[in-house]
Chains A and B, each alone.
Chain A
Amino acid sequence: GAVVSQHPSRVICKSGTSVKIECRSLDFQATTMFWYRQFPKQSLMLMATSNEGSKATYEQGVEKDKFLINHASLTLSTLTVTSAHPEDSSFYICSAPPGVGQETQYFGPGTRLLVL
Chain B
Amino acid sequence: AQTVTQSQPEMSVQEAETVTLSCTYDTSENNYYLFWYKQPPSRQMILVIRQEAYKQQNATENRFSVNFQKAAKSFSLKISDSQLGDTAMYFCAFMKRDSGYSTLTFGKGTMLLVSP
A binding-site residues for B, Cβ under 8 Å: 32, 34, 38, 41-44, 46, 49, 91, 93, 95, 97, 100-101, 103-105, 107, 109-110
Contacts and interface: CB of A to CB of B under 8 A. Distances in A.
Contacts of B107: 43
A93 B103 contact: no
B16 interface: no
Contacts of A103: 33, 50, 52, 95, 97
Interface residues of B, number: 25
A25 to B, nearest CB: 13
Contact of A97 (B43, B97, B101, B105): B101
Contacts of A32: 101
A49 B45 contact: no
22 contacts: A34-B104, A38-B43, A43-B106, A43-B108, A43-B109, A44-B91, A44-B106, A49-B101, A93-B43, A95-B45, A100-B99, A100-B101, A101-B100, A103-B52, A104-B33, A104-B47, A104-B50, A109-B42, A109-B43, A109-B44, A110-B43, A110-B44
Interface of B: 33, 35, 42-47, 50, 52, 91, 95, 97-101, 103-109, 111
A107 B44 contact: yes
